[in-house]
Chain A
């Protein structure tokens, strides 16, 4: 087990290096540091000296991948790629192109993201499971057919419509919640309730269908038939046996998204003006802040891989039949 985890952790390294190279190439294949400098300094009225100065401050005045002016080992290390990458692997994300400390920004902005993502996840899972169980309870009736159709209909609506219509009806017409914005502490409640609601409703369609198929698979097993033959009611079988045994895939499914909670939702956050990590990334994309985008991609990939690892491990913990080699 320990061996396996260590091996998997070692496997994370080449993947992260790959991610890093990919984002680096994506940005610099057509974009030169000069372009970035001009972008940050405000396009037109910049002279070369200011650009050079900016590049020197940020460490972009080195060659991209290979430094011919240096000797030996330094040919590879005295480059933008190397200098900007090493920091990522020890989570020293450096400063953004606009001059702010990225780690400080992230540690400050992850709380609003978490404040929205955590309740969305919890209520989402609860709602999904409840509706999925209801659908199974009313199996092969009009109710199930209607419910399934509703699920597909919910899935077919773009997330944008949920957000825009909720903002309009709840925020503007009924004036129940503020349309956008955020306040720290206890005041945050009224700002996060609408995004959370949208998160739950938006995920309902696909979520219910997924849990339903999980439960159906479980309900087809022999022990369920035995339980029914023993004289237990449908409700008892559903809650005591099916739900309990389906907990394994449910839990592992949740584990994989746990680390991603930090990232927040890109679209929702920028729509509601919540100062979380999602809007941070979107802002960075639109202002072409390479350092932030790269850090966020790196962080996101890292968390995703950790999630996968946790899933595999949680499988062994909850199901003794699974052995990792």
Chain B
């Protein structure tokens, strides 16, 4: 839901701002900036994965005898795309690209003797007869094949784009070119993944044998949902209160200032912790309201976003108040007021459009912070539900794995790579957006 709202809202914003000259200029600036385009492309591909993961379908399993099962399970489109990853579950830990399990086991060999060896994996490298010899060659050949597929797919996309949007190439040559090059890299990665993933566990498996790559990809949605939902919760409060405080002054201003001073003087982590604890106790006392694990997880995710939203509106509100104070004294506002425009109309037509750049900048700046906050909160067990896929939960479990001998490092590495890519892209994009929209940098 939240992801859809984010996508639709984003599209709407782009469409509306493309009609207005003063908004189009900074956006063009963003699109002409190489870093901006690359980070935007990466962000959009993450969002696409999130959307695919949010589109749920009723799926009927095919049973082993060929019939279709009557029990429908709800799967997302992403789950279906990633079916080999989702279903190829090993017994327990295995290293990235491994063909044998991570720990030795007693096993019965063909000659009837029991040996203490590393057992072969059920899925990882199962197509090889002698992994020690064939594995490297197989991986390299599959990688090359995947790269070729990626390049071919990218080429097809580029041709289609070129044919359908000829105008686009003339008006913004630089941005589109950079974006296409970034896409080439993404396509190559995806091609390689698609070639290798059905045969190997690219990032290994975790304690219960689930593919780590699958977990990391599924976590994208959690990160995005938290960023998007929190923004949706926070924006209306921040905008309406900020504008009101600056515009009406007097007791309204005092009250709103009191509200945000109080809220912002409570250490954020404590407030969040208290609220989540409260929810846990509530759920423990009323088990009849939350019958399934999904219900609990959804409830906790929603609550987390609510609380994060409530704690994070104060900064934007303060900014908007100050800006409104300035704008309400400007000549055009005074003129409009003298003409008898109602106060609501004044706020809507004259003040709000002129503070939108602040809102914009804050949204993109806050987004990466929220993804990082999720990880920390999940780590101290006050974030999303432990059953939800999230990078925070992955880090949390991998902490114990680091103490194992020899260590299990791939869970942590996987969550690090994915989280770092998303947050870095968001940060870089935020930086470019701020440079483009900040009126101070425009002279």
**Interface bits B362-375 vs A (CB < 8 Å: 1, else 0):** 00000010001001
Cβ contact within 8 Å between B270 and A15: no
For the complex, count residues of B whose C-beta is within 8 A of A: 43
Q: How far is the CB of B425 from chain A (nearest CB, A)?
A: 9
Of B261, B282, B376, B412, which is within 8 A of A267 by CB?
B376
In this complex, the member of B265, B273, B275, B426 whose beta carbon has the largest number of chain A beta carbons within 10 angstroms is: B265
In A252-270, the 8 Å CB interface with B consists of: 263, 266-267, 270
Q: Does B380 contact A (CB under 8 A)?
A: yes
Q: Does B163 contact A (CB under 8 A)?
A: no
Q: How far is the CB of B333 from chain A (nearest CB, A)?
A: 25
Q: Does B118 contact A (CB under 8 A)?
A: no
Q: Does B395 contact A (CB under 8 A)?
A: yes
**Interface bits A8-50 vs B (CB < 8 Å: 1, else 0):** 0000001100110011001101110001000000000000000
Q: Does A301 contact B (CB under 8 A)?
A: yes
Cβ contact within 8 Å between B427 and A155: yes
Q: Does A104 contact B (CB under 8 A)?
A: no
Q: How far is the CB of A36 from chain B (nearest CB, A)?
A: 9
Cβ contact within 8 Å between B427 and A156: yes
Q: Does A164 contact B (CB under 8 A)?
A: yes
Of A188-196, A234-242, A281-289, the one touching chain B: A281-289
Cβ contact within 8 Å between B376 and A158: yes
Measured between beta carbons, the chain A residues less than 8 angstroms from B416 are: 157, 161
Measured between beta carbons, the chain A residues less than 8 angstroms from B395 are: 158, 160-161, 164
Of A53-61, A66-74, A134-142, A292-300, the one touching chain B: A292-300
Cβ contact within 8 Å between A30 and B376: no
Q: Does A305 contact B (CB under 8 A)?
A: yes
When C-beta atoms are compared, the residue in chain B nearest to A161 turns out to be: B416
Cβ contact within 8 Å between A152 and B431: yes
Of B266, B277, B382, which is within 8 A of A19 by CB?
B266
Cβ contact within 8 Å between A164 and B375: no
When C-beta atoms are compared, the residue in chain B nearest to A301 turns out to be: B265
Measured between beta carbons, the chain A residues less than 8 angstroms from B426 are: 156
When C-beta atoms are compared, the residue in chain B nearest to A35 turns out to be: B281
Cβ contact within 8 Å between B382 and A285: yes
Q: Does B269 contact A (CB under 8 A)?
A: yes
Cβ contact within 8 Å between A156 and B424: yes
Total contacts A-B at CB 8 Å? 112
Q: How far is the CB of A69 from chain B (nearest CB, A)?
A: 26
Measured between beta carbons, the chain B residues less than 8 angstroms from A26 are: 271, 274-275, 278
For the complex, count residues of A whose C-beta is within 8 A of B: 40
Q: Does B402 contact A (CB under 8 A)?
A: yes
Cβ contact within 8 Å between B380 and A30: no
Q: How far is the CB of A316 from chain B (nearest CB, A)?
A: 20
Q: Does B423 contact A (CB under 8 A)?
A: yes
Of B261, B270, B281, which is within 8 A of A297 by CB?
B270
Q: Does B290 contact A (CB under 8 A)?
A: no
Q: Does B379 contact A (CB under 8 A)?
A: yes
Q: Does B285 contact A (CB under 8 A)?
A: yes
Q: Does A168 contact B (CB under 8 A)?
A: yes
Q: Does A186 contact B (CB under 8 A)?
A: no
Q: Does B250 contact A (CB under 8 A)?
A: no
Q: Does A153 contact B (CB under 8 A)?
A: yes
Q: Does B262 contact A (CB under 8 A)?
A: yes
Cβ contact within 8 Å between A305 and B266: no
Measured between beta carbons, the chain B residues less than 8 angstroms from A22 are: 262-263, 266, 271
Q: How far is the CB of A115 from chain B (nearest CB, A)?
A: 20
Q: Does A159 contact B (CB under 8 A)?
A: yes
Grouping DSSP codes into helix (H, G, I), strand (E, B) and loop, the B interface class, with mixed when no group exceeds half, is helix
Of B262, B273, B427, which is within 8 A of A18 by CB?
B262
Q: Does A304 contact B (CB under 8 A)?
A: yes
On whether A263 and B274 interact (CB within 8 A), knowing A31-B281, A156-B427, A168-B402, the answer reads: no
Cβ contact within 8 Å between B274 and A293: yes
Q: How far is the CB of B29 from chain A (nearest CB, A)?
A: 18
Cβ contact within 8 Å between A30 and B420: no
When C-beta atoms are compared, the residue in chain A nearest to B281 turns out to be: A31
Q: How far is the CB of A194 from chain B (nearest CB, A)?
A: 15
A281 to B277: give the CA distance in the assembly, Å.
13
A157 to B278: give the CA distance in the assembly, Å.
30
Measured between beta carbons, the chain B residues less than 8 angstroms from A15 are: 258, 261-262, 265
Cβ contact within 8 Å between A19 and B262: yes
When C-beta atoms are compared, the residue in chain A nearest to B269 turns out to be: A266
Of A19, A152, A300, which is within 8 A of B427 by CB?
A152
Measured between beta carbons, the chain A residues less than 8 angstroms from B261 are: 15, 305
Of B263, B278, B285, B427, which is within 8 A of A27 by CB?
B278
On whether A293 and B270 interact (CB within 8 A), knowing A152-B431, A155-B427, the answer reads: yes
When C-beta atoms are compared, the residue in chain A nearest to B286 turns out to be: A30
Of A30, A152, A156, A300, which is within 8 A of B281 by CB?
A30
Q: How far is the CB of B58 from chain A (nearest CB, A)?
A: 35
A23 to B266: give the CA distance in the assembly, Å.
9
A87 to B88: give the CA distance in the assembly, Å.
59
In A144-199, the 8 Å CB interface with B consists of: 152-153, 155-161, 164, 167-168
Measured between beta carbons, the chain A residues less than 8 angstroms from B145 are: none
Cβ contact within 8 Å between A159 and B376: yes
Q: Does B399 contact A (CB under 8 A)?
A: yes
Of A156, A267, A296, which is within 8 A of B380 by CB?
A267
In A76-99, the 8 Å CB interface with B consists of: none
Q: How far is the CB of A187 from chain B (nearest CB, A)?
A: 24
Q: How far is the CB of B381 from chain A (nearest CB, A)?
A: 7
A22 to B372: give the CA distance in the assembly, Å.
26
Cβ contact within 8 Å between B267 and A297: yes
Q: Does B305 contact A (CB under 8 A)?
A: no
Measured between beta carbons, the chain B residues less than 8 angstroms from A288 are: 277, 281
A297 to B268: give the CA distance in the assembly, Å.
10
On whether A14 and B258 interact (CB within 8 A), knowing A164-B399, A267-B376, A296-B270, the answer reads: yes
Q: Does B238 contact A (CB under 8 A)?
A: no
When C-beta atoms are compared, the residue in chain A nearest to B273 turns out to be: A285
On whether A23 and B274 interact (CB within 8 A), knowing A157-B420, A164-B412, A304-B265, the answer reads: yes
**Interface bits A297-324 vs B (CB < 8 Å: 1, else 0):** 1001100110000000000000000000
In this complex, the member of B278, B381, B420 whose beta carbon has the largest number of chain A beta carbons within 10 angstroms is: B278
In B379-437, the 8 Å CB interface with A consists of: 379-382, 391, 395, 398-399, 402, 407, 412, 416, 419-420, 423-424, 426-428, 431
Known: A19-B265, A156-B420, A285-B380. 14 other contacts (CB 8 A): A31-B281, A152-B427, A155-B427, A156-B426, A157-B423, A158-B395, A164-B399, A168-B402, A270-B380, A285-B274, A286-B380, A300-B265, A304-B265, A305-B261
20 A-B interface contacts by CB (under 8 A): A19-B262, A22-B266, A22-B271, A26-B274, A27-B278, A29-B278, A30-B281, A30-B282, A153-B420, A156-B423, A156-B426, A158-B372, A158-B419, A168-B402, A266-B269, A266-B380, A267-B380, A285-B273, A300-B266, A301-B267
Q: 3 tightest CB-CB pairs across the interface, nearest first?
A: A18-B262, A156-B424, A156-B423
